[in-house]
Structure 1
Amino acid sequence: MTYCLAIAIEDGLVFCSDSRTNAGPDRVSTYSKMHRFSVAYDRSLVLLSAGNLATSQAVVAQIQRDLEEDASFNILKARYVADVADYIGEISVREQAKYQASSAPGAGPGFNANATFILGGQIKGHPQALYLVYPEGNHITASELYPYLQIGEAKYGKPILDRIVRPDTPYETAMRCALVSMDSTIRSNATVGPPLECLFYRNDSLKPHARYFTLEERHPYLAKLRQSWDDNIREAFTKLPPLNEVFADAE
């Protein structure tokens, strides 16, 4: 399992992803789920992946291959971010079918080659855009009311996003919110874990992604964020209205 999210705000786009692919008792494996493609002053795109690792790796490999071979369509020839979302969806469906067909005889009924992606960024001459690409190949975009998208183990990190994120949220606040959302998921699900990758693309900059960082498990900032969030949640809880009034009404 994994967890990735992206937030669309007026300042730009925030992306955050974990890197855990396996969390068994004998081994913990990690793999980056954030993939970056950019040409300065022309286009800047970020792809997050969740689901079957073989499928997501095959999709990224095909994107790279189409770029190297200057295929009739590749992400450098797309006019709109939506066109890239369609292209990724087509590759994903094709790769899923390939793995399901080749593995069906011995894989058993539990085999699942599905992969889900978040694609965000901007192409020169057009506004920034953010899409969630489903395993079936179709895609949706984020809404104004809830300007974020999640893939993977989404439920634990959703409440903080619903309460804090709005289109006019400053990017630094949105990035901290993404990290709290990620850490809340890590706290409740051992299959999600560091290193965490976080990136901010500034709207209309069309530059390579300068505001990017990774946080390892023992990074001082991550430890400070966790402690501060825990302390403040506990303090807020102690300030909740007492139940005296409820008890009084029941008597």
Structure 2
Amino acid sequence: MTYCVGMVLDRGLVFMSDTRTNAGLDNISTFRKITLWEEPGDRVLTLLSSGNLATTQSVVSLLNERSKSPEDRTPTLLTAPSMFQAANMVADTLREVVARYRQGGLTAETQKFSATMILGGQIGESPPRLFLIYPEGNFIEAGRDTPFFQIGETKYGRPILVRAYDPALSFEQAMKLLIVSFDSTLKANLSVGAPFDYHLYSRDSLKLGPTGRIGVDDPYFNEISLAWGNALKAALDSLPDFERVPDP
């Protein structure tokens, strides 16, 4: 399983993903699930992936290969004129890879080879945009009512995002929010695990922003995890007790 988040802020875009993949409790591995493309001064794109690892790696490899050697001047991620067309390109590639498995006689197992992706970035003078791409190859775009997307194991980390998200958040505040969301997911589901990769893209910069990896031994991560747990306990204790239980 996976947990990834892409978020739209007034300041730009924020991305974070876990790195755990597993095929059972005794077969756990770490793989990077965030991919970055950059043409300084022209475009920056970030892709987060969830689902079958072979599928997501095939999609990223095809996108990379076609960007290096475009055929017949076919647009690639590095030449697409808009984020919409870039999202459509990723969607088509995902659908192509899944269809290849289906044609290979894996119809009954097709669901195991599905994947879901988040693509965000900015091209030229157009504003930053964020898309959620489904296994079927269709996609939706983030907007005012849906300013962030989650993929993978979403339910444990969603409540804090819904309650605390604000488009005016600074990158520092957004990172704190995401760390709480990821910590909540990690504690509730063993299939999600650190380290966590992130990318912070500043609106109109058209260059890669700060990127990094946060491990379970990271001092700030542990400080936030402990403080959040204590804050939840203190908040619960501060609430009025339920007084309608009848006396025995």
State how far apart, in whole Å, the 1-side matches of 2:70 and 2:49 are: 24
**Aligned 1:62-211 pairs, distance under 5 A:** 62-71=62-71, 72-104=74-106, 109=109, 112-209=112-209, 211=210
Query: Mind listing any 5+ residue stretches in structure 1 that lack a counterpart?
Result: none
Distance 1:54 1:100 in 2: 14
Report the CA distance shift for 1:80/1:65 in structure 2 as closer, same or farther (over 3 A): same
* Per-residue deviation, residues 92-111 of structure 1 (Å, max 9, x unmatched): 00100112332528xx5575
Counterpart of 2:221? 222
Per-residue CA deviations over 1:122-174 (Å, capped at 9, x if unaligned) read: 00110000000111111111231341101111111100000011222222211
Q: TM-score normalized by structure 2?
A: 0.93
TM-score (structure 1 length as normaliser): 0.92
3-state DSSP class of the match of 1:155? Answer: coil
SS in structure 2 opposite 1:243? Answer: coil
Contact 2:42 2:206 in 1 (8 A): yes
Q: Is the 8 A contact 1:40 1:206 kept in 2?
A: yes
Cα pair 1:23 1:191 within 8 Å, conserved = no
Unaligned runs of 5+ in 2: none
**Number of the residue aligned with 1:11:** 11
Other-structure match for 1:239: 238
State how far apart, in whole Å, the 1-side matches of 2:62 and 2:137 are: 15
Query: How many angstroms does 1:70 deviate by?
Result: 2.7
Residue aligning to 2:21: 21
User: What is the Cα deviation at residue 242 of structure 1?
Assistant: 2.5
The one-character-per-residue Cα deviations of 1:17-59 (angstroms, maximum 9, x if unpaired) are 0000116333320100000001111101100000111111000
Secondary structure at the counterpart of residue 156 of structure 1: coil
Confirm or deny: 8 A CA contact 1:146 1:165 kept in the other structure.
no
**What's the CA shift for 1:247?**
5.8
SS in 2 for 1:122: strand
CA contact (8 A) 1:14 1:174 kept: yes
RMSD: 1.8
- Distance in 1 of aligned mates of 2:174 and 2:159: 14
CA contact (8 A) 1:146 1:162 kept: no
Partner secondary structure for residue 145 of structure 1: coil
User: Is contact 1:19–1:193 with CA below 8 Å preserved after alignment?
Assistant: yes
**How far apart are the structure 2 equivalents of 1:84 and 1:126?**
13
More displaced 10-residue stretch of structure 1: 152-161 or 170-179:
170-179
Runs of 4+ that moved beyond 4 A:
108-111
- Does residue 45 of structure 2 align to residue 45 of structure 1? yes
- Given the superposition, is the C-alpha separation of residues 206 and 74 from structure 1 closer, same or farther in structure 2, using an over 3 Å criterion? same
Structure 1 residue 217: Cα displacement: 2.2
The 8 Å contact of residues 18 and 33 in structure 1, kept in 2 or not, is answered as: yes
In terms of mean alpha carbon deviation, does 15-24 or 60-69 score higher? 15-24
Whole-Å separation in 2 of the counterparts to 1:93 and 1:190? 29
Q: Does the CA-based 8 Å contact 1:44-1:121 persist in structure 2?
A: yes
Please state how far the C-alpha of 1:116 moved relative to its aligned partner: 0.6
